[in-house]
Amino acid sequence: MMRIDIITVVPGLLDGPFSHSILKRAEEKGLATVKVHNLRDYATGKQKQVDDYAFGGGAGMVMMIEPIAKCIQELQSERDYDEIIYLTPDGNTFNQNMANELSLKGNLMMLCGHYKGVDERVRQKFITREISIGDFVLSGGELAAAVLADAIIRLIPGVLNDETSALTDSFQDGLLAPPVFTRPAEYEGMKVPEILLSGHQAKIEDWRFEQSVRRTKDRRPDLMERKDF
């Protein structure tokens, strides 16, 4: 079973994503589990403070090393982790290849950033990988952690009802997915392409590939630079 531990100062933000749909199904099947840890449980004092002013001045607060270190070390005492991931805008941009790689791991830990980020010594001492979900800034790393967990867990064999569906998603072969259709075959004069109704599976696959290439060229030409057709 894959286990993902997420450290956050706002655990309530993660209640929804892991209690529905595919992620819930993965836990019910015993294939993956996600545990959310409230960083304030590892803080001291009446206020359970987890942030402080930055040395050198400047706007914004910085997450303190001591509560984070205490939480990480407690989790590490219970099991070994393949990766300790920090969700941050300046990390490596998440993509499908990264999701595929991480889906083969056993235990992952994710630290959600907040405020102006974490004390740099956290990154130096504990973090093994830094990941961003895009060139924009969120209020915290919780939504990014949910995105990573969803993208990773859905790839675990047995999580999806039709395991082949994950293998035909966009980006798995470096291309965007082709157009898809379902019933009715005609709607207000708009017809499903005849090839998809032909029953000739080899020709259908050729059509889908051609459509994937065309859609990728139109919408994500940057991806085509990496392909050789």
Tokens representing 32 are: 């993956």
DSSP character string of the chain: -EEEEEEES-GGGGTTTTSSHHHHHHHHTTSEEEEEEEGGGG--TTTT--EEEPTT--SSEEE-HHHHHHHHHHHHHH---SEEEEEEEEEEEP-HHHHHHHTT-SEEEEEE-BTT-B-HHHHHHT-SEEEESSSS--SBSHHHHHHHHHHHHTTSTTSSSSTHHHHTSTTTTSSPPPP---S-SEETTEE--GGGGS--HHHHHHHHHHHHHHHHHHH-HHHHTT---
Phi, psi of 51 (to 5 degrees): -140, 160
* Residue 133 counted as an annotated binding residue: yes
* Residue 136 counted as an annotated binding residue: yes
* Residue 137 counted as an annotated binding residue: yes
Spatial separation of the C-alpha atoms in residues 128 and 91, rounded to whole Å: 11
* Residue 140 counted as an annotated binding residue: no
* Residue 113 counted as an annotated binding residue: yes
Binding-site residue set for S-adenosyl-L-methionine: 113, 133-138
Binding-site residue set: 113, 133-138
